[in-house]
Structure 1
């Protein structure tokens, strides 16, 4: 959200910083949020801070409980499995609709996003390169589904993406293990723009499963089975 001059509002700036802190693990899962300390840290008033926090509640990154305040949403294997299952249902559906409805502009956006992702290097231990790769990766996946023309579905997609990104940021950053997904991305994009919907959907499902399996292996010893 921005003001009439196109500048980010205080709430939007605070939201972006809080989102980054949660995704990177600077704010730990299950951590109680002290709004007074956050207000001082982010140099914003209480009203824009509450607006920012409530947006992240909507995305599932923060929990709001009556009389208890705000807490960074805990993580667990059960939660990761639920995120994966929902992605397996919703993203392929959105991709199939995009293939049916997208025109030449959509094809160009998919191929352009793929090209940028392929040219973006991800270096273990280099936060800047990881951030650039994550942004390019998210842009590619969004380009695939953007022409589903279903605003509610896209809102759910963004929430699931944020929840999944948190696991990847926290655990891949700690482990330093990065799965090479270049060939998978190329295969999905080619099938999509060639209008091979069944192939594209199958490849996307396999990609989601493989990426989640990789995370499960990394975190199985450190997370409980239940929330």
Structure 2
């Protein structure tokens, strides 16, 4: 390991894994808090929605489309001034949460919109016919009925967040990506590079496996 002791190697890898989990967990929380209401608005305000509002739907669609089209590495660099203004620094795991969240929420919002669109139209019309409000329709019908698809979407988003957290290492975002660059690539330490890749693959596998199990159980109950 090119002069690095096993204890040092293990400590660096464990700390970087913890930072990655921290980034992914915090970014996932903010992505959910932003992406879920945006996705719901995208669905209910579109032309065939339950509350057509062109003035809301068009700007939201434009925002989401731009967010999904912009390469994340470009977004990382472009958001450096905003991140510094908001957090006070552009280095570290907490600072990396800002671009990771802003890069992920448009993707999740579109997943939410598509998941709600799969809900049986007959159920929606039945609630409307019984005088249900838009809030009741969203909270009692749309979100519960779309739950398996939403959980699947959250799983895909978490996998993407893990990838984003690794790319954040390019600008000193901490975590496994930063470890791979500083202690692997820059120091020609192939062992460290391989170790970070293995840990990232294990994280992706664990998230995907857990998400698939939850979706399977929900589908089975239905």
TM-score by length of 1: 0.29
Structure 1 or 2, whichever has the larger Rg, is 2
- Structure with greater strand percent: 1
- Structure with greater helix percent: 2
TM-score by length of 2: 0.29
